[in-house]
Each structure stands twice: as C-alpha cells, then as structure tokens.
Amino acid sequence: MENIVEARGLVKIYKRRDGTTVEAVKGVNLDIRKGEIFSLLGPNGAGKTTTISMISGLIPPTSGDAKIGGYSIINSPIQAKKLLGVIPQEIALYPKLTARQNLEFFGRMYGLGGSVLRKQVDEVLEFIDLKDRQNDRVETFSGGMKRRVNIGVGLLHKPQLVYMDEPTVGIDPQSRRRILDTVFRLRDEYNMSVLYTTHLMEEAQELSDRVAIIDHGTIIAQGTQGELTQQVGEEDRLLFHVGEAVVDEALLKRIEQNVEGVTSATYTVLNLKELTASDAPQTDLIDKLSTGTVAAIRAGHTTEGLVTVVARRGRKALPHIINLMDSNGVQIQSVEVREPDLEAVFLKLTGRALRD
C-alpha cells in the first residue's frame, strides 16, 4: 500500500537557557499508509506532539525530513501542507467570529474562494451538524460544539491526511464518542488517512489500523495491534485490588513459585489522594484508572494496594492466587483480567505503565 507520510530520522533538539540541550525526538521513522487510521501512542511528554509538529511543518526538525504525499515538508512545505488537515488538541478558533466566518477564514488560508469555498463550508457545517448555528459566534458555543467546529476547520480543503492531536482530552463521554465516530467516517466515507495521537490505550486500540508507540522521543514499536501484542506473547495480566491491605514480598514469591503459569507478581500502592488532586478532568482520570481504583476512590480510600500478576492462561491461575491471598489474610476487593493489549506491550517494552 502507498504511503501518505514517510518520516525519516526526525530529530528535535531544544536548547535551554543555560546552554544545555534536550533531545525531545531522537531519530523517529514513521510510515503512514493511505486510507488508514494510524495512532501515535505514548505517555505525556513522550514526544508525540513534537514529532507531529515537525511532520506538519509547524517546527523545523533539527535533522531528518518528512514527506507528505511525496512532498518534503522542508523543501516543498506549501505543497505538503495542502495535503494536510490539522485538528489541534486545543480549540484554535476565533471566538468573536461565527462558525461560518471561522470556516471561511481558514478556508481562504487553504486557497479556497468564491463558490468553492461556500460549497465546502456548507458541506463541513453539514458534516459537523452545526448548520443551524452557523451564524452564531463561537464564543456562545458549548465545549462539544467548539470541538466540532475545530474539527471542521481541519477538513475544509478535503485533505488526504488528517492529523488529530489528542482530540478527546477533557471532554464528556458523549462528545468523545462522537469524535471517535468521526474518525471512522473520515476513513470510511472520505477515504482520508488519519494520524491520531493519544495517551489513551483504549482509544488507540479501538481506532487504529496501525499503531506506533513512542517513549522518550523514540518509536519503540510500530505495527498492527496484532503484531504488537505478539511481542508480549499470550500472557494475561491479573489485577488484584486489595484496598489498604499490605502485601509482603513473601506472599508475592509464593504466588510466583506455587501457581502454574505465573511469570511475575508485583505489588504497588497507589496514592489516591495525589491522583484525585490532579487537574485532569474527572472523565479523563477515570479513563486512566482501572475500575477497582475508581471504586476505591469513590469509597473514600486514600491509598490502594494493587497486586499485578502476569500469567499464561490467567483465568486458570486465578482461583489459586485468590486462595493464597485469602489464606495470608489479604482481603481482595476486586479482580480484573486483562488479555494482551497495547498497555501490556508498553509495560513490557518500557517497564512502566502508560499511565505512570
């Protein structure tokens, strides 16, 4: 399949005021195919936005190059940008202008004019379902409606590639669902390629034809979800929420040695006070946490113990582990079984969870 994006050796080095340097992106190579949804998954600060900012021509790479539709973003930036529609994470609109005025203005920036512009604006207003509010100022819109206009601006010129930067951060579940459906429509109805950045493993899993995982400015894995999960084999993860109970090393060793199929058992204590003090919207926080942790927060606990057991045929090992913990006086409050997923891939490759 033909590639719409080919990035080779992208490096971005920032200079600090004290003269030292930070290498935010370290030689990223990416291939995005025409008509696919490609997710760039990584924790906050991994280099997702910097990588995409270089591909979209917003910031110049320190070295390396990226081509969009065969046009170099360094040597032919105008041609490359014509093929790209950008939907930023923040609402990048003019609040004093109406929805239609915003669309018309940005349409002109993409070289549209006259009847073509009017037709495109009408189509986009239809697509984002805001035709009846087209003459209202954006500042009067709800957050979800602003998001839709924000998306509409990126689609005006019918780009071959749409880049969406964490578009679901901080919005309600209904608007989020709508955006995810929009991503599928762009691929299926308009045959556009979508480059989607996220730190939410669930979104990447639901949306992506292919995924690249980025950490510390480096692509650590790239491929279809099947290809990536193969890297962690057939192992399941069992998450035991033990509330404020303390699990000692001896019990963990016993689980590893006595239960068949178990390859590792770890115990971590989550500080729920810190988690809930986060500025992140509640919906965003719940996305990141397991159901057991959310239940502990809602029960008013300040800490929560979590035993993570990695095991082949996890469901078969489950009753044995429960017995062992019970016999050692550890009261289990809830259990989750997770089959191999992108979270597990990230955990295996980095030793950390995506949410860490």
Least separation, in Å, of the C-beta of 84 and another protein?
Answer: 7
The least CB distance from residue 153 to another protein, in Å, is 7
Binding of another protein at residue 56 (CB under 8 A)? yes
Q: Of residues 82, 118, 131, 216, which one binds another protein by CB under 8 A?
A: 82
Buried b (16+ CB within 10 A) or exposed e, 45-73: ebbbbbbbbbbbbeeebeebbbbbbebeb
Phi, psi of 13 (to 5 degrees): -115, 125
Alpha helices in 56-156 (DSSP H): 77-82, 99-109, 114-127, 143-155
Q: Is 62 in the site for another protein (CB under 8 A)?
A: no
Decide if residue 79 touches another protein (CB under 8 A): yes
Residue of 106, 127, 141, 240 that binds another protein (CB under 8 A) = 106
Please pick, from the candidates 4, 24, 68, 84, the single residue that binds another protein as defined by CB under 8 A.
84
DSSP calls for 286-311: HHHS-HHHHHHHHTT-SEEEEEEEEE
Using CB under 8 A as the binding rule, the residues of this chain from 136 to 155 that contact another protein are 153
CA-CA distance, 71 to 77, in Å (whole number)?
7
Cβ(329)–Cβ(305) below 8 Å: no
Sole binder of another protein in the list 48, 81, 133, 301 (CB under 8 A): 81
Closest distance to another protein from the beta carbon of 217 (Å) = 16
Phi, psi of 151 (to 5 degrees): -70, -45
> Residues binding another protein: what is the number (CB under 8 A)?
29
Q: Give the SS3 label for residue 18.
A: coil
CB-CB contact of 271 with 302 (8 Å): yes
Taking CB under 8 A as the rule, does residue 315 contact another protein?
no
Indicate which single residue of 42, 57, 167, 217 sits in contact with another protein (rule: CB under 8 A). Answer: 57
Q: Which has the closest alpha carbon to 276: 296, 254, 246? A: 296
The correct pick among 45, 63, 105, 231 for binding another protein (CB under 8 A) is 105
Q: Which residues here bind another protein, judged by CB under 8 A?
A: 56-60, 77-79, 81-82, 84, 86, 88, 90-94, 96-97, 101, 105-106, 108-111, 113, 153
